[in-house]
Amino acid sequence: MFGLMSDCLFCKIAAKQLPAKLVHEDPDTVAFEDTNPQAPTHVLVVPRKHVATLNDLGPEDEAVIGRLHRVAAQLAKERGFAERGWRAVMNCNREAGQTVFHLHLHLLGGRTFAWPPG
């Protein structure tokens, strides 16, 4: 399996070895509903390839990082809040609150967000 890390939660979701509410699939990415949503829309967009953190990106990963953002924007348009606004968040390592060490973009939308973040 492409990039599959056998002990990784999001690799298993991408490979359909664990259940999730999938909202998007393509050859390079999958997106699914977060189980602990922090907004009316809280979707995680992940590369199928296992990359642990933003610190671990290689030059070959640049295209898929762009793809994550394009998938998020498409979902925001489909859900009707693209123009009102939405947030894309990628937490990197402990101080930022990363708890799952497979790269993921949080798509948050459907409410107003504070800045600066807490």
Residue 4 found at the interface with ligand 5GP (CB under 6 A): no
Q: Is 106 a catalytic residue?
A: no
Among 50, 102, 104, 106, which one carries the catalytic annotation? 104
Q: Exposed (0-12), middle (13-18) or buried (19+): which is 13, by Cβ within 10 Å?
A: buried
What residues numbered 44-83 form the site for ligand 5GP, per CB under 6 A?
44
In whole angstroms, how close is the CB of 5 to Zn ion at the nearest point? Answer: 4
> In this chain, which of 7, 99, 112, 118 binds ligand 5GP, going by CB under 6 A?
99
Amino acid found at 2? F
Q: Of the listed pieces 22-30, 77-85, 88-96, 98-106, which binds Zn ion according to CB under 5 A?
A: 98-106
Q: What is the 3-state secondary structure (H, E, C) of 7-44?
A: CCHHHHHHCCCCCCCEEEECCCEEEEECCCCCCCEEEE
**Pair of tokens at residue 92:** 């990197």
Question: How far is C-alpha 17 from the chain's CA centre?
Answer: 18
Among Zn ion, ligand 5GP, none, residue 8 binds (CB under 5-8 Å by kind): Zn ion
Enzyme catalytic residues:
104
Q: Given the rule CB under 5 A, which residues bind Zn ion?
A: 5, 8, 10-11, 50, 102
